[in-house]
Structure 1
Amino acid sequence: MTSPRAEFTPHMEHYTFVLEDQPYLGYFQYGNEKTPVYSTDRHGFRVTPGPGGLRATVGDDRPDGPDGPVRVLAGSSAVFGVGATGDAATISARLWNAHAPRLPWLNIAGQSHNSAQELLLFTLFQHELPPVEDIVLLSGVNNLVLSRLPEEKQGRHGAFFDCGPAPDVIPSPEQRVAHASELTIRHLGGWKALADALDARLTFVLQPLAPWVREEPLPREKLLFEELDEVSNFRRFHNDISTLKVGSAYADRLAAGCARLDVPFLDMNVALAEAAGPADWLFIDRVHLTDLGYDLVARQLADHIDLV
């Protein structure tokens, strides 16, 4: 009998999640990878295909040369585009090709990165960038996921994935929200300083999580989630944060922190819930989206951030 994952998302076999050990970052995608669903530049950043066969990457091609202005979409695996059937279905590609096409979009994302790693990634490669007009940081979920780890694993800047076994006691949802939001806003302050120095507009977007978008998944989504739950610990470790109430509380804290920093804030969970039809298949797992889901996210970014 074919599993739901094999039946509905056969392309996911090409997202192996095998990452290269990297100093400072911990781990990152391999450079110059070419699979049936994604390709990376020499540094490991995913390629953004554009109109008429153009491409935009951090380390390789840019249509307007080394000095042509760009926009940046930054974050973790959802920004990388895990779940997309190809490079052209990622959020950055949908922005460049359809919803905000005036400038090329660079995909600056590392899979399984927390907010400290996202900031460090941009800092380490900013010397490669041309003038940047907009920075859209789509993030927030990984910090909350990692908030389950004990204090001794958090260090001064937050835990990262693969830094230890699962804890016996998990903090309360309130503690997890408080810890994750403090880290996210602290590191957003670094993004703000960099954006100001680059004369770029910075926007923070809370990335969508399936149970924060709608309480009941579609039948197909439910089958996919249940299959993944048989081999992963998401439900056991994160059932307490997988509610609309927790998602809203987290968004409120992040919105308040963004206001203190004078950084525009968008809760993509709310925007996506309003944009999606009741039968729209959005999620491949609770964090990563379908091609339609990524396109709807790109459309909402363009509409809400006014990316003319």
Structure 2
Amino acid sequence: MTSPRAELAPQMEHYTFVLEDQPYIGFFQYGDETTPVYRTDADGFRVTRGPDGAAAAVAGERPPGPVRLLAGSSAVFGVGATGDAATVPSRLWSRYATGLPWLNFSGQSHNSVQELMLFTLFRHRLPEVAEIVLLSGVNNLVLSRLPAAQQGRHGAFFECGPAPETVPSAAERVAHAAALTVRHLGGWQLVAAALGARLTYVLQPLAPWVREELVPQERALFDELDDVSNFRRLHNDIATPEVGREYAKAIGAGCAALGVPFWDLNAALAEAAPPGAWLFVDRVHCTDLGYDTAARLLAERLGPI
């Protein structure tokens, strides 16, 4: 009998989260990797597709002139998309915000400090940068369940230690994750100012923060995943609309203090998605429709440079 995942989202077979060990950032995608659903450049960044199939990548060929960056983790990478053309940066460049190429500047499973370090390590690969959009936030909150000994001074990262026996409260997790997010955003703010680039922070969507009622495809996929993974068991306390709103409120306040524009994509998706729209392949990653809707809403929010 075919599983719901194999039937509904066969592309997920190729998103294995098998990453290459890398100094300083811990792990990153393999370079020059080609699968049936994605391709990476020489340094491991996913290729973006633009008008008429044009390609652009951080360490690959791209049109001359300035670029816009969409930075973040696996949702920006486009886990769940059926091809390179279906990721958010590709949909922005090919359809919704076509004035400049968008580069996919993401590392799967990265937290906020790894996202910032990634930029410092690969800045030399970039041309003029006109805009930086950080679409992030979930990983910091997921990692907030780890104890202080694993948090260190700059926050925990995936695979840094065993799961704890006791977990902080949801309120403590929100406060800790938001503080780290805003602290590292201050580094991005300095970078953007030095580059003369516009900077925006966007809280990425998490399925239970967008809507409580799942469509049938999502319910089948999530139930199957819960049988083999520990997301529901480990993160049920943060996977509620109330926690999502509190997290958005905390990050939004930090962004306001920095003077960085903030936007909660969860609220926007909840309002824009038609009833019955299948948006997520798992709780963190979207379908092609979900990514396309996110790109459209993001372009409307950002406006022209």
TM range, normalised to the smaller chain?
A: over 0.9
Measured after TM superposition, the shift of residue 144 of structure 1 is 0.1
- Equivalences for 1:1-308 in 2 at 5 Å? 1-64=1-64, 68-307=65-304
Q: 1 CA distance for matches of 2:119 and 2:223? A: 35
- What is the alpha-carbon distance in structure 2 between the residues aligned to residue 240 and residue 16 of structure 1? 26
Q: Is the 8 A contact 2:25 2:114 kept in 1?
A: yes
| In 2, Cα distance between equivalents of 1:282 and 1:74 | 21
Instruction: Give 1:235 shift.
Output: 0.3
Q: Which amino acid counterpart does residue 39 of structure 2 have in structure 1?
A: S
**Aligned Cα RMSD in Å?**
0.7
Deviation string 1:74-130 (CA, Å, 9 cap, x unpaired) is 000000000000000000000000000000000000000000000000111111111
Alignment TM-score, normalising by the size of structure 1 = 0.98
What CA distance in whole angstroms lies between the structure 1 residues aligned with 2:304 and 2:106? 20
Shift of 1:190: 0.2
Residue 3 of structure 1 aligns with an amino acid whose one-letter code is: S
CA distance in structure 2 between the aligned counterparts of 1:145 and 1:189, rounded to whole angstroms: 21
Deviation at 1:285, TM superposition (A): 0.2
SS in 2 for 1:106: strand
Structure 1: gaps (5+ residues): none
**What amino acid maps onto 1:145 in structure 2?**
V
Q: Share of identical aligned residues, percent?
A: 70
For residues 52 and 196 of structure 1, the distance between their equivalents in structure 2, rounded to whole angstroms, comes to: 33
Q: Report if the CA contact (8 A) 2:51-2:95 is conserved.
A: no
Whichever residue aligns with residue 292 of structure 1, its letter is L
Counterpart CA distance in 1 for 2:171 and 2:233 is 17
Aligned length: 305
One-letter amino acid of the structure 2 residue matched with residue 271 of structure 1: A
Give the distance between the partners of 2:277 and 2:216, measured in 1 at CA.
11
Secondary structure of 1:127's counterpart equals helix
- In structure 1, how many angstroms separate the alpha carbons of the residues matched to 2:206 and 2:9? 18
> Partner of 1:230: helix, strand, or coil?
helix
What amino acid does structure 2 have at the position aligned with 1:207?
Answer: Q
Instruction: Give secondary structure in 1 for the equivalent of 2:127.
Output: coil
CA distance in 2, matches of 1:248, 1:203: 19
Report the AA paired with residue 5 of structure 1.
R
2:35 corresponds to which letter in structure 1?
Answer: T
CA deviations on 1:152-205 (whole Å, 9 max, x unpaired) are 000000000011111111110000000000000000000000000000000000
Deviation, 1:304, is: 1.1
